[in-house]
Amino acid sequence: MKNIGQILRELRESKGLLLREVGAELSLDPTLLSKIERNDRMPTKEQAKSLSDFYGDKKNEVIIAWLSDKLVYEVQDEDLGLAAMKVAEQKIEYLKTQKTK
């Protein structure tokens, strides 16, 4: 159950790349990427997208980690967070059935 930062750091290191190398490739300031990998900054949607593309495999894993981290952040200090999460799940499932109509 990894967070987006961990995943990105592991992916980068597994390829032996430097922050500045990935940064150059994606026009992303290396210090910003550093923050992202330490979960100090949340990547924007575009950043998450281009990072997941860049690392090729595990695209969905990256996006899911990013999205789920945002969700956790949203309810992190709410007593009813978990309950709300379950309701939200049902709402999404319901919306899905609606869309197919």
Partner DNA sequence: TTATATTAGCCAAATATTGTCAAGTCAAAA
Partner DNA sequence: TTTTGACTTGACAATATTTGGCTAATATAA
Give yes or no for a contact between 12 and 37, defined as CB atoms under 8 angstroms apart.
yes
* Cβ distance to DNA smaller for residue 13 or 93: 13
**Whole-Å CA distances, 48 to 4, 22, 24, 29, 84:** 9, 13, 16, 14, 25
Give yes or no for a contact between 50 and 22, defined as CB atoms under 8 angstroms apart.
no
31 makes contact with DNA (CB under 7 A): yes
Which residues contact a second copy (rule: CB under 8 A)? Answer: 1, 3, 60, 63-65, 67-72, 74-76, 78, 80-96
* Cβ distance to a second copy smaller for residue 9 or 19: 9
Q: Which does 30 bind (CB under 5 to 8 A by kind): a second copy, DNA, none?
A: DNA
